[in-house]
Structures are given as C-alpha cells and as structure tokens.
Chain A
Amino acid sequence: MITRLFGFKGGVKPESHKNESSGTPIQKVPMPTRLVIPLRQSIRSTARCLVEPGQKVLKGEHIGEGEGGLGTSVHASTSGTVVEIAPYPMAHASGLETLSVVIEPDGEDRWIDHTPLDLRTVSREEALAWLRGCGIVGMGGAGFPTHVKLGGGRGIDTLVINGAECEPWITCDDRLMRERAPEVLSGAMILRELIGAKQVLLGIEDNKPEAIAAMQVAASGLGDGIAVVPVPTLYPAGGEKQLIRVLTGVEIPQGKLGTDFGVQCFNVGTAQAVHRAIRFGEPLVSRVVTLTGNVTRPGNYEVLLGTQVEELLELAGPKADTDRYIMGGPMMGTELQSLSVPVIKGTNCVIAASPALFPPPPPELPCIRCGACARACPAELQPFELYWFSRAKNFGKAQEYHLFDCIECGSCAFVCPSRIPLVDYYRFAKGEIWARERELRASDQARERFEFRNFRQEREKEEKAAKLAAKAAETRAKLAESGEAPATTAAAEDPKKALIAAALARAKQQQTAVAPRNTDDLSADVQAEIADIDDRREKLNPQDADKAP
C-alpha cells in the first residue's frame, strides 16, 4: 500500500541510549504513599473539582469535570481518600503550581464499575463524549484532548499512528508496542472508525526492530488498509509534522492541522488508551514511563497518574553523582524544578542527569554563520538568521523569517559548533512577541475603556441636561397655568441674593483686615482721625467688632 517514504530535510542523529531501558518488560510500581493529581491534565484547561477533602473515592472515579471546549475529565488513579485540594507544582520549566487533588491510597486499588462502549450502537458524537469522559488526551507529550482532534476529522484519508519515538533515552512507546501491540492496533482501528480514515500507517523508527515485528504480527490479522512502516532513525522523525511528511509526503504548515490535509496523527500510547476506554470503559489513570539515565535500574514502569517523581525514582535508584532530573527527552525535555511534581498524562520519561552523561556546554562562541544549524533544521528555517534577529530584538524580522515555524526541536543547538543555545533565543523572542501582543491588547482595551468612559460621561451629562430642561419646561408650564410665576420666583431668589451679597462683603472686609495698614508712625491728629473713623465704622457694622485686629 505504501509505495515509498518521503524525507524531511535536516534532522540530527544523537546517540540513542535506548538500550539502557529497552531490555526489561514494563514493571508495576508499588502503590505510592500518595497521589497528587493535577486538575489541569489537558492543554489550557483546568477541570472543575468534584470531590472534597475527606471523601472516599474509587479507582477511575470522576474527580474533575472538564470545562470548555478543550476540557477532559480527571479521575482518581486508585481507591482511597481525598486528603487535600491545593495548588501543587506541576511538571513545567517554570515550576508553577496548579490546583491538584491529593489522594491517600487505601491499598485496595478498587475500580469503579465500568462497562465497554459498543461503538455500533452509539453515534460518533456520543463516542467522542465518551472519550472526553474517560480523560483521553495525547500521550506523546502535548496533552491535546483526543476527542477534539477526532472531532475535526472529516474527509480524513490517512490515520498516522506515531510510534517513531525519536528522542534519545525514551523507550516507553517501544515497550508498549512490543508488549501490547494488539491493544495499540485495536485503538488504532477505533480511531480509524471515528475519523473515517481509509488507511492506517504506523510509523516506527527502524532502531526498534522488535516493536516493528510485534506490530507487524498484530497487524497481519487485521486485513487491508493498515501498514506498519519502519522509518529511518533521524531525530525529530517523531515530530507529528515530520512523521506525516515521511509517511505521506504531506507538508503541514505552522498553524494548520492535519485535518486540513486529510491526515491525522495519534501517539501509540493514545491509541492504547482509546482501546482501554472503549473496550473496557476504563478512564486514563496510568501510563508507561521510562526511568533512565544515571540510575542503577533503568526501565519502563506502569505508573499511576499523580505518582510523585521522587517516589518513582526510588525504584530506579539514581546514582550518587546525579545532579538534576529531566522530564521528557534530552532534546526537548524540561529540567524538573522539584521532585515532588507528579506524573501526568503527557509524562513519557524521567532522566537522571549527571555531569558525565549531560556535560554542561562549553562557553558560547561567536556565530560564524557556518550554516550547520540550517542544514539540521527540520523546519527548513535559517536558524542563525533567527538568532541574529532575536539577539538584536528585531522581532519583526524574526517573524518575517518564520520564527513561529520553529518547533523547538533543538537540532540547531545540537549541531552548533559555537555552542550557542539557539533554541533559548527563539523562546526568548517568541515570549517577547507574545508579551508585546498581550500588552498591545491590554492597551487597546484600556483605550477602549477610556473612550467608552468619556462617551458615557458625555452621554450622562447630556441626559442630565435634557432631564433638567424637561423639568424646567414642566415647571414653567405648571406656573404658566397657575399664573403667579414671576413673583414667587423673585421672592424665592431674594434671600439667596442677599446671602451672596453679605458673603461678598465679608470677604472684602477680610481682605482689608489682613492688608498691611500704614497706621504706625503717624502724627497725633491723623491717629485721632483714624480712631474716629474706626469708631464710626464700628457703630455702622457691629458684627465686625470682634474681628478687628
């Protein structure tokens, strides 16, 4: 069915380090002492909490209701008691916190009642809602809700299942394909049915021969329209757009989706989770995680979501010279700020790093425009140009040179002979551009608010004036009716006028009172004359007497 593979430009070949963890079967993890389940499990959406502290929950019980278009449900990963609902650090480079449900397991690991969904009896929409309810999101790392991705699936010709797993060190998908190939393929068939794809292409990097063999055996019984395709081992072949390109030749530009081009891509882990959700009604409560790097027992573990990394690491036994931990792969992963962060649906790997395995880069040297980065870039960008523009904060130019087509795969920084942390420059530039856009939006809003306030005040003034005018007219009309208008008005105004006049006079007097008086050093006659005048004035204005200096 597949006649030829396509290539993508660029790419790099870092040492794979897959053998460290790929040899042993997926192991069960002993029940953790507590689970910290973030309510934010799908991209850009935090679920509404459905439980309260002290409440008993069962494995798979609904603890968070997905909200908004991108929301998915969150479930208890085991049976136990909710002990706390509080913000906890999440697995993010920033170390930011997110609202999490803390569960103390009772050790029984008792499931809620769950039933399979019969796809033949339900509509497509019901099936998607079912997946949303089971909390299925992309398990390749991005955590994009699967039902949303499937929802856009009209006119899809090809379903791509991503088993490439191109990042060094990570082997969770490899083990999953080797051990649970039928489940992965069953999930793929369900996904195919839900998007109505004609063919299914399962891309696996050719450095995983066992996984390819296992999947081929499992696929052989499923009839036509499904192919397991070994793809050349070249990072980032597992990037969604790169894999789609390799398998179908379709190039999906930044900002566009596979659905626009009749192709849709899901990770093998997602496919397996879809299988469990539909065939057994099991919500997504655990996943396979690779523990590797500078550890004594590297391997793959079936981990309950919410298990804190520090508890997991005890299983693998980090060596003494471990200096930090990376979640994800060494090309795109993030360094953990805290070991208390929990495993979430997108967590595929935790690597213990040591200075020997991941030496700090030597000092940065000037860019010599050698172009190695451009030859390595899978997005076919000119990374060194983006570097110069980002460095110079020439963000307009950076965007013109397609900064936002950068997938931050790190290939450019990997090959740079000057050891420039190129990706950091792009992250910086993107962050600045976003910040500026936010600022622009904020100032636009402020301007609009200000303009509206002016408009409102103007309008209120006019309304008030109109109201007054109306009232005055009404009064005039009334008075005209009664016929005594002018007299009353004058009478009413008279005391007011008198009051004002008195106040004015007082003010004038005060002014003269504080004015310097040239009454010192005067002759006796003059003084007598002044005294006489003062006397008369006192008699005329008795109220001034007490104020006289």
Chain B
Amino acid sequence: MINSPYIRKPASVQGVMLAVLTALIPAIIVYASQIAAVVLVNLAIATIAALAGEALVLKLRGRPLAPALSDLSAVVTAWLLALCFPPILPWWATVLGVLIAIVVVKHLYGGLGQNPFNPAMVAYCAMIVAFPSLMSQWPGAGQLDFATQLGLVFGGAREIDAIASATALDTIKTGLRTAGATVQSIMSQGGNFGLVSGRGWEWLAPAYALGGLYLLARGIITWHMPAAFLGALAAISAVFWLADPAHYASPLFHLASGGAMLGAFFIVTDPVSGATTPRGKLIFAASVALLAYIIRVFGSFPEGVAFAVLLLNICVPLIDMNTQPRVFGHKGDKAR
C-alpha cells in the first residue's frame, strides 16, 4: 500500500547526476580546446569502462541492471576520473582506474550510497601510487597535436621527456628546491605558466566554477562546501604567501591550479562520502583544503586534494555526529 505523501516532487537521482554531468560541460569544452582534445576520447573510454564494470558487478551481485545503470552515478565517477587523470594516460590505465572506482570502492562496499570513500579519489590515489611516472606526465597546453595524443593514449612508444611536462604545481615545487629560486623566477621562465597559474589550466578553473554555480543554482549542492573549501585554501595560502612571497605561491595561483576548483564544486561535494550537516560540511571542506595545501606544499605529491578528501572521508562519521543541528523547538538544548 502507498502511504502519504501521495505526491512527489519530480526529482530523481538520475536528474541529480545529469545536472552534475551538465555542470562539467564548460570545463570539458575548455579542456578540449585549451589543453588536449584527447580528453574527449578519455571521457568516452572511462564512461564505457564504468558502465561495463557496473554491469558486470551488478550481474555478479545478482542485482537488477537497469536502475543502477540508468542512475548515471557511474558516468559521473567516470567523467570526474577522466578529468583528473593526465589526458595522455594510456587507455588501459584509465580503464583500470575506473574499475577500481566502480568495482572496488563503490560496489564492494555495497553500491551507490554505501561507499565511505569517494570512489574517484580512491582510484586517483591508487593510480598515483601504482603508476607514479605515468600519472605525472601531462602535456603542455597545445603542445601536442591530436594524433600524437591519440598515439599516446592507445599505446606506442612513449618518449616521456620530449612530449610531457610536469604540472604548474609540480614545476614550482621542484623548482623551489634549487638554491636561490623564487616563485617569480620559476614562473617568469614561461613554458608551463600563463597569467596566474598553469597555461591553459588556469582557464579550466573558472569553467569548473561556472559549472559549480549552476549546481548551486539548481540546489544540487549547498554553498557550504565550496565556500569553506575555497575560503580555507585562499586563507592558508595567503598566510604563507604574505609571510614569504618568494617561496610560496599566491592564493590565486593555488585556487587556479590542480584540483582546487574541481575539488571545491565536484569532489568535496560528493554527498555519499562527505559530511552532511551544515556545520559538518564547513568543517569537512575547510579541512580538506587545509590538508590539500599542506600536501601540495610540504608533502611528496604535487597535488593534495585527492589524499586530503580520503583522509577526511574517514572523519565524516565523527564530524557528522558532533555537528548535529539543533532540532526545531530544542532551543535550549546543548548542541551536540
């Protein structure tokens, strides 16, 4: 029997996921036109791998295929991974990464809604640890023609140093190890750098932000996570930058580099593995940003968002438990 309420808002998980995919489109356009058109191929590979992996594991688990495949959650994971991975990553590595996300992180924990960790970020970290050299080869913006990009993705010889370079974050990090080097001297050497950050990449950041604003307007995400994440990242980078501008990049550089914008609007906002209370969201996202900055600047990986998200995923139950909002009418109660 159906009980009240008898009416429902025409909202659906599929609609939520579709909104996320739509929000990624500006960034995909910028990515394909500014950095590497092969990202479109990667998106296709990742999508197919995700759907195939999901179908396989659903079959193994004896679950109906249609509802899970059509909810588009696997496609969201696939797209996020394709956008996180270096665009010239060999196709099999992309497939492997996506399968780790879908099969291991999502389904071994019970499927959609059950995974304590962000599937895309676990896969990203696993790939970085397993294939450090492959995962650190990035094409300079507009340096490789499409055929070369395709060749790199689908095999063939990889003459790494000739064709690939480190990211802006990585260049600064390694560059600062040489005596006498400053952020300014490294950036003025040009090459990788544009106006405020990596050439090409710095345009990706506003494109992600644009998608994020769309999600905010649609009510798919709340302001808490992006605001706390970007605010905390800007604040901590400002502190270091003001103290020593020669050795610490500006907040603008940090906000426009690496996974900052993608993280702020699409990664930390993952509802399944993130904090859920309003205050919890602020704490969670700000902590991710602080940790990401520390890993970026002082850790051994150039990019820190993925590791930071996973570390904070562990803390979610604790954060949620201690930030339960006051219930209506319990004005005097002590907040838990």
Given A12-B9, A415-B9: A382 in contact with B325 (beta carbons within 8 A): yes
Instruction: Verify A414–B13 contact, CB threshold 8 A.
Output: no
Instruction: Verify B6–A368 contact, CB threshold 8 A.
Output: no
Instruction: Give bound CA distance, A12 to B11, whole Å.
Output: 13
| Any B CB within 8 A of the CB of A253 | yes
Measured between beta carbons, the chain A residues less than 8 angstroms from B9 are 12, 14, 414-415
Closest chain A residue, CB of each to CB of B327: A402
Q: Mark B6-27, 1 if CB is under 8 A from A, else 0.
A: 1111011101100000000000
| Any B CB within 8 A of the CB of A353 | yes
| Any B CB within 8 A of the CB of A483 | no
Q: Mark B34-50, 1 if CB is under 8 A from A, else 0.
A: 00000000000000000
Instruction: Verify B7–A254 contact, CB threshold 8 A.
Output: no
Instruction: Verify A405–B7 contact, CB threshold 8 A.
Output: no
Instruction: Verify A361–B8 contact, CB threshold 8 A.
Output: yes
Query: Which residues B316-336 have CB closer than 8 A to chain A?
Result: 320, 324-331
| Any B CB within 8 A of the CB of A424 | yes
- B108-116, B142-150, B172-180: which lies at the interface: B108-116
Measured between beta carbons, the chain B residues less than 8 angstroms from A9 are 328
Closest chain A residue, CB of each to CB of B336: A400
Given A241-B329, A251-B329: A333 in contact with B11 (beta carbons within 8 A): no
Contact of A330 among B5, B320, B326, B328 (CB under 8 A): B5
Instruction: Verify A380–B327 contact, CB threshold 8 A.
Output: yes
- B90-98, B132-140, B269-277: which lies at the interface: B269-277
Instruction: Verify A371–B328 contact, CB threshold 8 A.
Output: no
Contact of A369 among B1, B4, B276 (CB under 8 A): B276
| Any A CB within 8 A of the CB of B170 | no
Measured between beta carbons, the chain A residues less than 8 angstroms from B114 are 366
| Any B CB within 8 A of the CB of A398 | no
| Any B CB within 8 A of the CB of A384 | yes
Given A253-B330, A366-B114: A401 in contact with B324 (beta carbons within 8 A): yes
Instruction: Verify A402–B13 contact, CB threshold 8 A.
Output: no
Instruction: Verify B6–A330 contact, CB threshold 8 A.
Output: yes
Instruction: Give bound CA distance, A365 to B66, whole Å.
Output: 11
Instruction: Verify B6–A415 contact, CB threshold 8 A.
Output: no
Instruction: Verify B11–A366 contact, CB threshold 8 A.
Output: no
Closest chain A residue, CB of each to CB of B64: A363
| Any A CB within 8 A of the CB of B156 | no
Given A365-B67, A374-B276: A326 in contact with B8 (beta carbons within 8 A): no
| Any B CB within 8 A of the CB of A65 | no
Q: Mark A394-408, 1 if CB is under 8 A from B, else 0.
A: 000000011001001
Q: Mark A415-439, 1 if CB is under 8 A from B, else 0.
A: 1111101011001000000000000
Given A369-B276, A372-B11, A384-B276: A378 in contact with B4 (beta carbons within 8 A): no
Closest chain B residue, CB of each to CB of A337: B1
Instruction: Give bound CA distance, A379 to B1, whole Å.
Output: 26
Instruction: Verify A413–B5 contact, CB threshold 8 A.
Output: yes
Measured between beta carbons, the chain A residues less than 8 angstroms from B2 are 335, 360-361, 421
Instruction: Verify A358–B6 contact, CB threshold 8 A.
Output: yes
Measured between beta carbons, the chain B residues less than 8 angstroms from A256 are 329
Instruction: Give bound CA distance, A371 to B325, whole Å.
Output: 13
Instruction: Verify B5–A414 contact, CB threshold 8 A.
Output: yes
Instruction: Verify A379–B6 contact, CB threshold 8 A.
Output: no
| Any B CB within 8 A of the CB of A266 | no
Contact of B329 among A252, A361, A408 (CB under 8 A): A252
| Any B CB within 8 A of the CB of A331 | yes
- Name the prevailing secondary structure of the B interface residues: loop
Closest chain A residue, CB of each to CB of B2: A360
Give, as a whole number of angstroms, the nearest-CB distance from A263 to chain B.
13
| Any B CB within 8 A of the CB of A528 | no
Instruction: Give bound CA distance, A326 to B113, whole Å.
Output: 33
Which of B3, B7, B12, B112 gathers the greatest number of chain A CB atoms within 10 Å?
B7
| Any B CB within 8 A of the CB of A135 | no
| Any A CB within 8 A of the CB of B222 | yes
Instruction: Give bound CA distance, A361 to B320, whole Å.
Output: 30
Query: Which residues A142-168 have CB closer than 8 A to chain B?
Result: 168
Closest chain A residue, CB of each to CB of B316: A369
Closest chain A residue, CB of each to CB of B70: A365
Give, as a whole number of angstroms, the nearest-CB distance from A238 to chain B.
15
Instruction: Verify B16–A370 contact, CB threshold 8 A.
Output: yes
Instruction: Give bound CA distance, A379 to B112, whole Å.
Output: 28
Measured between beta carbons, the chain B residues less than 8 angstroms from A370 are 16, 220, 271
| Any B CB within 8 A of the CB of A465 | no
Q: Mark A95-137, 1 if CB is under 8 A from B, else 0.
A: 0000000000000000000000000000000000000000000
Closest chain B residue, CB of each to CB of A380: B328
Instruction: Verify A333–B6 contact, CB threshold 8 A.
Output: yes
Instruction: Give bound CA distance, A378 to B329, whole Å.
Output: 11
Given A330-B4, A374-B276: A417 in contact with B330 (beta carbons within 8 A): no
Contact of A421 among B3, B12, B71, B219 (CB under 8 A): B3
Instruction: Give bound CA distance, A372 to B221, whole Å.
Output: 9
Give, as a whole number of angstroms, the nearest-CB distance from A426 to chain B.
11
| Any B CB within 8 A of the CB of A8 | yes
Q: Mark B79-121, 1 if CB is under 8 A from A, else 0.
A: 0000000000000000000000000000000011110000000
| Any B CB within 8 A of the CB of A93 | yes
Give, as a whole number of angstroms, the nearest-CB distance from A171 to chain B.
16
Instruction: Verify B276–A414 contact, CB threshold 8 A.
Output: no
Instruction: Give bound CA distance, A361 to B6, whole Å.
Output: 8
Instruction: Verify B329–A417 contact, CB threshold 8 A.
Output: no
Instruction: Verify B111–A379 contact, CB threshold 8 A.
Output: no
Give, as a whole number of angstroms, the nearest-CB distance from A363 to chain B.
6
Instruction: Verify B6–A382 contact, CB threshold 8 A.
Output: no
Given A367-B113, A368-B271: A424 in contact with B328 (beta carbons within 8 A): no
Measured between beta carbons, the chain A residues less than 8 angstroms from B327 are 379-381, 402, 405
| Any B CB within 8 A of the CB of A334 | yes
Instruction: Verify B328–A416 contact, CB threshold 8 A.
Output: no
Instruction: Verify A366–B113 contact, CB threshold 8 A.
Output: yes
Instruction: Give bound CA distance, A401 to B114, whole Å.
Output: 20
Measured between beta carbons, the chain B residues less than 8 angstroms from A423 are 3-5
Instruction: Verify B329–A254 contact, CB threshold 8 A.
Output: yes
Q: Mark A421-465, 1 if CB is under 8 A from B, else 0.
A: 101100100000000000000000000000000000000000000
Instruction: Give bound CA distance, A423 to B4, whole Å.
Output: 8
Give, as a whole number of angstroms, the nearest-CB distance from A334 to chain B.
7
Contact of B12 among A168, A380, A414, A417 (CB under 8 A): A417
Instruction: Give bound CA distance, A327 to B8, whole Å.
Output: 18
Instruction: Give bound CA distance, A361 to B10, whole Å.
Output: 10
Instruction: Verify A368–B113 contact, CB threshold 8 A.
Output: yes
Measured between beta carbons, the chain A residues less than 8 angstroms from B277 are 374, 382
Instruction: Give bound CA distance, A220 to B111, whole Å.
Output: 62
Give, as a whole number of angstroms, the nearest-CB distance from A337 to chain B.
9
Instruction: Give bound CA distance, A418 to B9, whole Å.
Output: 11
Closest chain B residue, CB of each to CB of A251: B329
Given A371-B271, A380-B325: A417 in contact with B15 (beta carbons within 8 A): yes
Instruction: Verify B276–A382 contact, CB threshold 8 A.
Output: yes
27 chain-A/chain-B pairs, Cβ below 8 angstroms:
A8-B328, A12-B9, A15-B7, A251-B331, A253-B330, A256-B329, A326-B4, A331-B4, A332-B4, A334-B3, A334-B4, A365-B112, A368-B113, A370-B220, A371-B271, A372-B11, A374-B277, A380-B327, A381-B327, A402-B330, A417-B11, A417-B15, A418-B113, A419-B8, A421-B3, A423-B3, A427-B3
Q: Considering the complex of A and B, which 3 residue pairs feature the smallest CB-CB distances, nearest first?
A: A253-B329, A410-B5, A366-B113
* Other A-B pairs, 15, CB within 8 Å; known A8-B328, A365-B71, A380-B328: A253-B329, A253-B331, A330-B5, A330-B6, A333-B4, A333-B6, A365-B112, A370-B16, A370-B220, A371-B271, A380-B326, A382-B276, A410-B5, A414-B9, A419-B12
